[in-house]
Structure 1
Amino acid sequence: MWDAIRESSIGQIARLIFRRPDLFPYPEELASFELPASLNRDPSIAGISQTWGNSIASAPIQSPNHGAASPTGRQDPVLVDWYGATDQSNPQNWSFPKKVWITTQMGLYTFAVYIGSSLYAPSETQIMSVFNTSYEVAALGIALYVAGYGVGPLLWSPLSEIPAVGRTPIYIVTFFIFTWLALGASVVDSFGGLLVLRFLLGFFGSPCLSTAGATLDDMFAPWKLPYVLTVWSSSATLGPALGPIVSGFAVTKMGWRWSGWELFWLAAPIWLIMFVGLPETNPDTILHRRAMRLCACTERSDLTCDADVKRAHMLTTRQIVFDALIKPWEINALDPAVLYTTVYASILYGTYYSFFEAFPLVFTDMHGFNLGESGLPFLAFVPGLLIAISGYIVWFRLKAEPVMRKEAPPLYGFPESRLMPAVTTTLLAPAGLFIFAWTSRPDIHWIAPIIGLMVLFVSVVIAFQCMNFYIARCYPKYSASLFAANTFVRSTFAAGSILFSKPMYETLGVGGGVSLLGGLMVICAAGMVFLYLYGDRLRLKSRFAQSS
């Protein structure tokens, strides 16, 4: 109980404000704690433990010099590590209920941010009337939100990897700002102000998109992580789908501001839960803080952690910025596998968001649904999601996990074999789109295009799971920056699709426009098969991929 409070943001802030180590103390700060022998400066007394009246513990480490003076007269650093294989400060060793609790918070957080993009959609008609704008201009409220959470990961992802910063402070600060921006978007009186707030909402909500996966990776073994990521990502997938349903009927009755109030009411309690119950999970940050406590209590300056040593010898700031912001685009330009996953993810994402413009044309204009009812077809994504994650989890348990347990990191076997679910279901995407396109007519029952949506969604969910896992295993050195770049591209494309979709559907018709998207999906399906068959050869020729 006290450990949970100590590790949360409220516990850390209380310790900082009151400057009392005895307030929610760490084991190292207890008077009875014995400093591990491996941290002694003198190897001759390595077997002797020392008791510090107000000391801090450290982990057994591999440091041959134990703080001995170097030829330059400076002491070599003594690395602070875990206290052993069962150290409870290591997120990998946390209890399963604690991991589930943190995963649940990440899911709620992600759901709140993602649903914020589409809660706005039913308000567009009233916003056009109130602010005297065109439909395309009103649609900027969704487009800028999506663009905001595409830009954000370029900052938040590398920032969360700094040991002195960590992940949880970024979550708490940015989501706090997000919550109050949601309130601001509910009471703003100018259209320009509303658009600015919508972009900032996406920007400050984006850490869940860029960093939540890393939080889960901190806690789970590589062969267990895909299960957790599959379940967690369902919250990101369902958010935009449920937004029009949640706000559609309310906006009809209460007005356009109601969608903003709903986002505020959802975000505020989730932020409070995270503030009192979300610990830091970044192992580098945990060890950095432990090393700082050791230095303070032992009055030694040679105690540090491995991540801090590496950062001290890192490249210049210019090179760090280059690796974070430029290197992903270089890899996209020179590596066909990465470029393909970026393009395919963008088309999938853009297609998903284009339906916010297609649904009113199909279900309102053709079938007479009212504003609230026109969002209900998004429920077709729910059975599609359940089928996709159930099938993927069963396949991973039977086929992938046994291999990963036996093979060495970082590839854990033959990574192309884990694209099999995507290859098997890749033609479902164009099939679902063609069903939707060719049945979106007044003389055909509305259930037919909804069935097409469900079929499409099975393929979309599995494709994202397989591609993300493939990139993480094949490009471990660059995976964080590649995911941030992928998020930026697909979010930018989705933001554009929100703006060009309605003119496209009005020009080509819903059938023609969606059929065009289906044709693109056929090309992407061929690319998935090619990657499955020849991905290993591409990796051998790549300067960036892990080939063995």
Structure 2
Amino acid sequence: MAQEILRDSTLGLLIRFATGGRVLKYPEEVEGFQIPSAYHHGDEKRQQTVDSTASTQAAPTPAEEKDVDVEKDAAPATHPPLDRGSTLRNTQTAPDREFSDSEDGDGHSISHNLSQITSRAQMSQVNTRADLEQAYTNASYQEQIKTQPSRPIAPTRTADGTILVDWYTTDDPENPQNWTHRKKALVVLQIYFYTLAVYIGSAIITPSQPYIEEIFHVTPEVASLGLSMYVLGYGIGPMIFSPMSEMPIIGRNPPYMVTFTIFLAISIGVSCVNNFPALIVLRFLQGFFGSPCLATGGASIGDIYNLFRLPYYLTGWAAFATAGPALGPLISGFSVPYTNWHWSLWEIVWLAAPVYVALFTMLPETSADTILLRRAARLRHATGNPNLKSQSEINQSQLTLGEIVVSNLWRPVQINALDPAVLFTSIYIALMYAIFYSFFEVFPFVYAVGLPRAGSVTKGYGLNAGEIGLIFLSISVGVSIAIPIYLWYLKYKFEPQIRARGLGAPEERLVPGLYACFLVPVGLFVFGWTGFNSPKIHWIVPTLGIVIFTVGIFILFQVVFIYIPLTYPQYAASLFAGNDFARSSIACGAIHFSRPMFLNLGVGPGVSLLAGLTFGGCAGIWGLWYFGATLRARSRFAAK
């Protein structure tokens, strides 16, 4: 497994390029490898059975075979001009004919076209509710065949003579859905820590802010640009970098590694700069080039887990994303007062560098479209057959720059403007994200020196920067409470319901949010009015309010991010990128408007204003649950 990971990593690709492919070879490049007969020109002397191929290609060791994950996904669908949903439901291809019919315990046939099982990364090609139901049915059947022996998958031949390169067998180890548990865990942990490092980089500068004000003679509102521009940068970045990762000829890894290399270089530069305008520009670029994992990380996880397993691992990814900004002030809060304001920025370098080394040497390509495209190129070279192509190559040849721009820049704006359900989710999520980032302005008023206003009753608890960083751990505590609650829902409600009755109405996925939404204003009111009277009330009370708030927003984020792809599967990627931009933009503004708001209104009234807005969100989430079916029926974009 180690050699395969190195071969498919960025370092491995560079080694292969430098050696002309003589080192770290793929199975098709190894002397004696028997290419399946279906991929030859028809030269009978060279044809071999697929069964013999399965025995000669690189396969897991016996110990690893026991560890092979049961979620066996496979290649894209079969013919470019066809409607993708119709293909999911009706196409009968060679693999169907090769597999013997069998039934599960409920009498359902599981003689299924395994090469068309849909993963989360392919949901943009699902057009209707029936297609979506079929995608989840496929994932369920996929798990049912885990005890069956490996079977060959014959490639599909199109009318024009093209042979669509596919996985060789049902347990092809090159298929990311067939990777071992250990390999999947390695990939997921790298994505988690990559996300954590970038998110920590946002708020880690906040303990340096008082020193920046003093050294550069700027106001606190101006000094806050060091945080807000970073947040704005990682909101804009995914609009550009996420589409690149969906192009099969590029894949996931190049956008990660190129941008993270620039991120690390800029992080070194921003740690040395002594000019305020340069500091702000570099902070924006830091966020911009750190952004790909913040949107595409979920797609990478979706490449290796099927639709039933995916929500569990996305919950962990969201936990690292939520905890990152909260850990930033803790990491630098104690060090900056005893060193200098640059110290917090150097800590970004020390955090990101080990992650970069791990990604460079151990992150394999996860996109099935890219893996099959590269396999097709190797097979063309080995056989001399120019008709060997992957489905992704054909799809990519039909893609235009205009379509990419429309899909990723114009489509999110269009759907938000014309679909009230999408507009509500964008505004609601953005509001909660803005409140989250307003904490970086209000925490010093509550926990440190109090509110600097004549007659204010908010005197603060007298904590230093490091101790305020410890208060931010309450956000991590809230996440730790929310995760088991939400995982319980996934395991005992979400998954059993889908397996037993199908997807049902997407609004059913909003049910946890119907209760969690009330935790948001309750937590804010507890924090606002007990913190307003600091230090008369013990500091733990407003801190518990932050915990309650965090539990609420974490669960709401999860239910909304399940609801969107179930309701708008074809546009889910665009909507996620648009939602990321909306929440980051509003959070950027919140960093600047929250301080004047608290100074003018006070902590209690200011937080109450925000809590009142979230009460409006409660009405909205209940309205979406109750009227969602009607809104979907009228929507131009929802799956019918």
Normalising by structure 1, what TM-score?
0.93
* 2:40–2:385 CA contact under 8 A, matched in 1: no
Q: 1: distance between equivalents of 2:439 and 2:240?
A: 29
Shift of 1:539: 1.5
Shift of 1:13: 0.8
Q: 1: distance between equivalents of 2:404 and 2:331?
A: 43
- 2:405 aligned with 1:321: yes
- 2:473 aligned with 1:382: no
Shift of 1:303: 1.4
Aligned counterparts, 1:98-177, within 5 A: 98-177=183-262
Residue equivalent to 1:8: 9
Q: 1: distance between equivalents of 2:156 and 2:491?
A: 39
Shift of 1:530: 1.1
For structure 2, the 5+ residue unaligned runs are: 59-74, 76-151, 450-459
- 2:523 aligned with 1:523: no
Q: 1: distance between equivalents of 2:48 and 2:171?
A: 22
Aligned counterparts, 1:214-225, within 5 A: 214-225=299-310
Q: 2: distance between equivalents of 1:313 and 1:43?
A: 31
* 2:36–2:47 CA contact under 8 A, matched in 1: no
Residue equivalent to 2:33: 33
Q: 2: distance between equivalents of 1:172 and 1:293?
A: 24
* 2:529–2:604 CA contact under 8 A, matched in 1: yes
Q: 2: distance between equivalents of 1:141 and 1:477?
A: 37
Q: Deviations over 1:358-391 (max 9, x none)?
A: 0011111211112222222111112211111110
Of the three residues 589, 595, 599, the one matched with 1:496 is 589
Q: 2: distance between equivalents of 1:56 and 1:22?
A: 17
Residue equivalent to 1:73: none
* 2:528–2:605 CA contact under 8 A, matched in 1: yes
* 1:38–1:60 CA contact under 8 A, matched in 2: no
- 2:448 aligned with 1:354: no
Letter paired with 2:222: V
Q: Deviations over 1:161-186 (max 9, x none)?
A: 00010111211111121112111111
Q: 1: distance between equivalents of 2:35 and 2:43?
A: 14
* 1:35–1:56 CA contact under 8 A, matched in 2: no
Q: Deviations over 1:26-54 (max 9, x none)?
A: 111112112212223449999755999xx
Which stretch of structure 1 is more off in the superposition, 110-119 or 56-65?
56-65
Aligned counterparts, 1:39-118, within 5 A: 39-42=39-42, 60-65=153-158, 70=160, 76-118=161-203
Residue equivalent to 2:119: none
What RMSD over aligned residues (CA atoms) do the two structures have, in Å? 2.1
Of the three residues 316, 319, 328, the one matched with 1:243 is 328
Which stretch of structure 1 is more off in the superposition, 290-299 or 128-137?
290-299
* 2:569–2:639 CA contact under 8 A, matched in 1: yes
Shift of 1:259: 0.3
Query: Quick one: percent identity of the two aligned structures?
Result: 45
Residue equivalent to 1:438: 529
Residue equivalent to 1:454: 547
Which stretch of structure 1 is more off in the superposition, 55-64 or 132-141?
55-64
Of the three residues 293, 299, 302, the one matched with 1:208 is 293
Aligned counterparts, 1:300-319, within 5 A: 300-314=385-399, 316-319=400-403
* 1:182–1:260 CA contact under 8 A, matched in 2: yes
* 1:384–1:455 CA contact under 8 A, matched in 2: yes
For structure 1, the 5+ residue unaligned runs are: 71-75
* 2:35–2:47 CA contact under 8 A, matched in 1: no
SS in 1 for 2:156: coil
- 2:603 aligned with 1:510: yes
Of the three residues 520, 539, 549, the one matched with 1:429 is 520
Q: 1: distance between equivalents of 2:199 and 2:48?
A: 55
Q: 1: distance between equivalents of 2:316 and 2:501?
A: 25
Aligned positions, number: 532
Normalising by structure 2, what TM-score?
0.80
Q: 2: distance between equivalents of 1:375 and 1:182?
A: 22
Residue equivalent to 1:334: 418
Which stretch of structure 1 is more off in the superposition, 433-442 or 37-46?
37-46
